[in-house]
Structure 1
Amino acid sequence: MYTTINEDGVLNNYATEPKMYYAEYPAIWEQRRYVIQGAVATALVTALVLFGFVVS
């Protein structure tokens, strides 16, 4: 942790900055998994909305 003291004696603490890195483009199997997750999420939300209409 990086700490400084000003002329009034007040401490200022600064967090250490993490090392930066660039994100990598997802592999084809990761992209397929994202598509499946999106389809499941869409089906779940659609089912909940339809259930809400049926119940009300």
Structure 2
Amino acid sequence: MAVPKRKMSKSRRDKRRANWKLTAPGLVACPQCHELKMPHRVCPECGHYNGQSVVAAE
């Protein structure tokens, strides 16, 4: 296997790892109840999807 010829400095290592961050999920407003929900999924608040009631609301 390949082995590094030189030690990689801490700053160079940390620059490479700087892009490993989490991104916030993209949320959209539900057209029925205007609560935030994940796109292309049934709204957990009202149970609507694509203008139709899919799941009975609690």
Q: Same fold (TM over 0.5)?
A: no
TM-score by length of 1: 0.31
TM-score by length of 2: 0.31
Larger radius of gyration: 1
